[in-house]
Copies of this chain bind each other. A is one copy, B any other.
Amino acid sequence: MHSFTEENYLKVIFHLYQVQEMPVQTNAIAGKLNTRAASVTDMLKKLADKKLINYIRYQGVTLTEQGKLIAIQIIRRHRLWEVFLVEKLNFGWDEVHDIAEELEHVGYQPLIERLDKFLNYPKRDPHGDLIPDSSGEFEIAVQTGLLELAENINAVIIGVTEHSSPYLKHLEKLGLTIGESLLIEGITSYDGTLELDCSGKKISISRKVAQHILVSTKNQ
């Protein structure tokens, strides 16, 4: 089908586009893939030949419909495997990213469909990310960044946008895991530190930590 490497490029382009909503730049891709801009250019030409991306020299890239579909399938696989690793094999949410990064490239459609069924069609992965369905559709997420949440409004943590192990371990130590209820009691004017009430416990977190927490003010 498509090589391991091609799949990774598509996935990264998808993620970067999600964040920026602008054509994705060569350097950004190189950064994410720990490779050099020159290597990225080579691969972009190849992906463009295969009509998986829209590529104009010096103008950055976007995914074609076909490219987007492939990227979403890989994201689906990644997230389903993460659910498996946490729920069935009892890994911590900070341990599963790298393993899923490998498992996501095992490409055999029925495997993923059966895994999905086995896991009882989960809606989100252990970090709160939405799992697209088999046709590539995402549910619409009603979510807010914690930094955008107004003071004294009840909310529930539904996800994180940073998956590194140190970050996730830190959150866990603070008791800030998915499903927890919280409320911003105040924001320190000097450095913006957030004073939270998390299920009765008082916690202070820096803006850097808060930046990657997603909350919902509905469905509590």
Q: Tell me the interface secondary structure of chain A in the complex.
A: helix
This protein's copies in its complex: 2
- A108-B98 Cα distance, complex, nearest whole Å: 9
Residues of A within 8 A of B (CB): 85, 88-91, 98-99, 102-103, 106-108, 110-111, 114-115, 118
With A89-B118, A99-B108, A102-B106 known, 7 other A-B pairs at CB within 8 A are A85-B111, A89-B114, A89-B115, A98-B108, A102-B107, A103-B103, A106-B106
Query: In the complex, A88 Cα to B59 Cα: how many Å?
Result: 47
Would you give the shortest CB distance from A163 to chain B, in whole angstroms?
16
Instruction: Tell me the bound Cα distance from A108 to B99 in angstroms.
Output: 7
A99 to B108, CA, bound (A): 7
A108 to B95, CA, bound (A): 11
Residues in chain B near residue A106, CB distance under 8 A: 99, 102-103, 106
Complex CA distance for A106 and B118, rounded to whole angstroms: 21
| A115 contact set on B, CB distance < 8 A | 89
In the assembled complex, the CB of A203 is this many whole angstroms from the nearest CB of chain B, namely: 31
